[in-house]
Amino acid sequence: MKLPLLPDNLTLITRTWLGLFLLMGFFLLLPRLCHATRQVTLAWDANQETTVVGYRVFCRQASDGYNYSHPIWDSSATTCTLIGLDEYTDYAFVVRAYDDSGNRSADSQEVWFYGQTALPSQPEATSPGNNFSDLFLTPVLQTAVFTSPDPNDRHLQTQWVVTRVSDGLCVLDVTSSTCLTELDVPPLVLEENTQYSWVVRYTSVKGALSDWSSPSGFTTGESELDEDGNGIPDDQEVGMSIDLDNNGIADAEQNDLRCVNVFEGAGQIAVEAPAGSGVTRISAIESTDLTTIGAVDRLPFDLPLGLVSFRLEMEQVGGIARVQAYFSEPAPQTAKWLKYDMTNGWQDYSAHAVFAADRLSVEFEIQDGGFGDADGVANGIIIDPSGFGVATGAATPAEGDSHSLTGSSSPASSGGGGGGCFISTSTFWN
């Protein structure tokens, strides 16, 4: 038995957009396609063997293999026109020759017919309503669902950008594949009595990028939990007896060190950024209510002093902060320095952190717009939620777990945090 040779020089010779007038019976309709928007003509050289009596064309999409029991075309001709191809889908084709004894050749070379890229529809900010005023400081931003002209495309990622209106400073620029239409703005990103503008854009699983949404604005209200405006929630301020860095000066009196009482706990945590640290000022610090992240008994880490969030104002945009945190109780030997943020979830930050031998402090580095900076942008400000924790063996909670714990309060109607996609929302600044 001698197999036919491969058909040679398979080419696409036309790529005509299909009009309704071309829908005539002698075209073969591709199976499984519902959007008859394109056609393609294939051609190849005739085999020289006199025994060859026909050719079969096979088609596949990128994610599939060829189904050799179902040719999409079968004839003695050496050209075929296929219609009914989806506008946005890529197709591959091969041809096989067969002879009068039923012998079949192997595949010709493969040719591709690429689809158009459909841009996702422009996203729309839905909540808070445009120009909403007196908004609390950890709002949930919400947008309309992803749509695309390509029915086979889906939502992959959303980029969220929040800008301070007075000077155009970008205060948040994060891209998330979990916070697709809802984002909880992390604590300390927003300041009180300040006007902001925000936009989003969507990326599809096929890699298409939408336009930016039309800008939506809001103005924050007062922070009633920091009446003296010193950047520490009043009910977390420490007494004069606390001196975690053991320098003989009450931590409450220091400018380069800020200390807080742990949220509903018995302990303190302080962050120090002295001269040479790359930081000009620790402008805010607060201990986080862990229940805003998820059920505490299901968190993947036990966090004896919780998480502390702080805002560093940097000497240089994009600079590296070298800071130290002090604890009222030693971190266990097995504890890691951890972060939790909306785009990365829980992160072991050990690569940038060194615990002291007595485990009462840790030195760590954060880069503005780089590693460890939760605002995602080089803007002269570092936003950092972190703390020491010991793995509990519990699985990392899914994003969805946090939703049920906090309800689904809307920023337009409630002062409560939650309902959205979290980094670590605090109740102190509502």
- Residues in contact with Ca ion by the rule CB under 5 A: 226, 228, 230, 232, 234, 243, 245, 247, 249, 251, 368-369, 373, 375, 379, 381
Which is closer to Ca ion, CB of 89 or CB of 430? 430
Q: Mind giving me the DSSP string for 62-95? A: TT----TT--SEEESSSEEEEEEE-TT--EEEEE
Instruction: Output b/e per residue, 403-421; b: 16+ Cβ within 10 A.
Output: bebbeeeebeebebbbbbb
Dihedral of the alpha carbons of 18, 23, 29, 31, in degrees to the nearest 10 = 80
DSSP state of 209: B
How many C-beta atoms surround the C-beta of residue 340 within 10 A?
A: 27
Main-chain dihedrals φ then ψ at residue 404, nearest 5 degrees: -70, -20
Closest distance of CB 295 from Ca ion, Å:
29
How many C-beta atoms surround the C-beta of residue 31 within 10 A?
A: 10
In which order are the strands placed within the sheet that holds 257-261?
257-261, 268-272, 320-327, 361-367, 353-355
Q: What angle do CA 406, 407, 408 make, to 5 degrees?
A: 120
Closest distance of CB 222 from Ca ion, Å:
13
Closest distance of CB 195 from Ca ion, Å:
20
Closest distance of CB 395 from Ca ion, Å:
30
Q: d(Cα 310, Cα 384) in Å, to the nearest integer?
A: 6
Q: Which tokens in the block code for residue 361?
A: 């402090």
Alpha-carbon distances, residue 286 vs 8, 93, 183, 306, 308 (angstroms) = 71, 61, 20, 11, 6
Which is closer to Ca ion, CB of 376 or CB of 389? 376
Which is closer to Ca ion, CB of 153 or CB of 251? 251
Which is closer to Ca ion, CB of 300 or CB of 370? 370
Which is closer to Ca ion, CB of 59 or CB of 185? 185
Closest distance of CB 326 from Ca ion, Å:
8
Closest distance of CB 219 from Ca ion, Å:
22
Beta-strand relationship, 132-135 and 216-220: parallel
Which is closer to Ca ion, CB of 341 or CB of 375? 375
Residue 91, classified by CB atoms within 10 Å of its CB into exposed (0-12), middle (13-18) or buried (19+), is buried
Closest distance of CB 188 from Ca ion, Å:
11
Which is closer to Ca ion, CB of 105 or CB of 220? 220
Single-letter amino acid, residue 251? D
Which is closer to Ca ion, CB of 122 or CB of 230? 230
Closest distance of CB 244 from Ca ion, Å:
6
Q: d(Cα 337, Cα 355) in Å, to the nearest integer?
A: 8
Closest distance of CB 262 from Ca ion, Å:
16
Which is closer to Ca ion, CB of 153 or CB of 243? 243
